[in-house]
Amino acid sequence: MPEYRLTHAVTDLTGRELLAAGTRLTLPVMQRLAGEHNTAFPVCNLLNYYRVKADMLDFLRVPPYDVIFHGADRQQALFDIAGDVVMPEPVLMSLYHFRQLDFYTYRHMLLVFALSILIARELIDDRATLLQEVMAGPVHDIGKLCVPLSILTKKTALTPSEIVHLRHHALAGYVLLTHFFGEHEILAARVARDHHERKDGSGYPLGNPIDNLMIDIIMVSDIYDALISPRPYRPVSYDNRTALEEITCQAVTGSISKTVTRVLVSLNRRSKPHYSSCTLSRERRGLPPKDNVYGIKSSDSDDHS
């Protein structure tokens, strides 16, 4: 496996250090971390955890998600699948931590989860496989537990050192989920590590080309929600049309999955066409919001992805 190196320490919700800054995430290190507990953590149902289901319903009523999830069949499918997701209790405690201290990240994690289920449902026929795959969705950003709130909620440009600390969340999530699930190769941990990588090798933390359907799905869902949602550093979000044009352009140029992008486009259409009939174009007619920083190099400005 590629050798990853932590730029900062990884700590759990209690503040206990799991791995120190500078640790190389070699196979023996990850295997030791996964086998650290003699007994597994207790597991809980995601939707039954405090207000998770009620919050998700509230989030889905807001445009453009009200269109994407329009119709009883789509919402029923979402909750049928999500209702079977169980996770170690410390994972859900960490998720709910964001509800209290960084509501944007909490909302983002749940919406990426919901959207990833609808997209995966179009591309994966077997329910058992689908359920195993979508478990990665609600915890892809759990590594932000190891990023100071002052960085996550900062309204102005990040410094280079703050950008490094923010990007640390990818490997931190890999470590945390390996620890909590007791398995270093579990998909949820790999999605946390790789959801900022890109198919053409232009992402981070290592710049590895990605060829994994569920990572592709989380990747596209993550970008989409980041564009259309309010962010601490951006007074105005992308309108839905411009966000889809941005994502389509990335798909056409090979950065993200064309197939997953077609599904996203089809879900946004009220006529509900099959995704195979959706064409992708680099044409842009929308305008990014004023003071947009998305796509600006981190050396010039902030990168709150």
Mean pLDDT of 39-62: 93
Domain count, the chain: 1
Is the predicted pLDDT of residue 259 greater than 70, yes or no?
yes
According to the model, what pLDDT value does residue 289 have? 60
Is the predicted pLDDT of residue 80 greater than 80, yes or no?
yes
According to the model, what pLDDT value does residue 71 have? 80
Establish if 286 belongs to a structural domain.
no
Establish if 283 belongs to a structural domain.
no
Q: At what angle do helices 213-228 and 258-267 cross, to 10 degrees?
A: 50
Say which residues have a Cβ less than 8 Å from residue 168's Cβ, sequence separation at least 6. 6, 7, 8, 143, 146, 147
Establish if 179 belongs to a structural domain.
yes
Say which residues have a Cβ less than 8 Å from residue 36's Cβ, sequence separation at least 6. 179, 182
- Strand, helix or coil for residue 44: strand
Say which residues have a Cβ less than 8 Å from residue 126's Cβ, sequence separation at least 6. none
pLDDT band at 296 (very low <50, low <70, confident <90, very high): very low
Q: Is the dihedral of CA 35, 3, 163, 189 positive or negative?
A: negative
According to the model, what pLDDT value does residue 265 have? 93
Q: Which amino acid belongs to residue 137?
A: G
CB atoms within 10 A of CB 235: 11
In angstroms, the Cα distances linking 259 to 119, 122, 198, 245, 252 are 10, 10, 14, 15, 10
Percent of the chain topping pLDDT 90? 71
Residues 175-231 have pLDDT tens digits of: 999 999 999 889 999 999 999 999 999 999 999 999 999 999 999 999 999 999 887
Establish if 297 belongs to a structural domain.
no
Bond prior to 64 in cis (omega within 30° of 0) = yes
Is the predicted pLDDT of residue 299 greater than 50, yes or no?
no
Contact 228, 59 (CB under 8 A): no
The enclosing domain of 136 has a CATH number of: 1.10.3210.10
Establish if 284 belongs to a structural domain.
no
Closest CA to 140 of 91, 179, 104: 91
Establish if 299 belongs to a structural domain.
no
Establish if 180 belongs to a structural domain.
yes
> Phi/psi at 87 (nearest 5 deg)?
-145, 160
Give residue 58's domain range: 10-277
How far from the centroid of its chain's Cα atoms is residue 10's Cα? 19
Bond prior to 230 in cis (omega within 30° of 0) = no
Is the predicted pLDDT of residue 290 greater than 90, yes or no?
no
Establish if 2 belongs to a structural domain.
no
Is the predicted pLDDT of residue 31 greater than 60, yes or no?
yes
In angstroms, the Cα distances linking 289 to 26, 52, 60, 115, 221 are 42, 30, 23, 23, 20
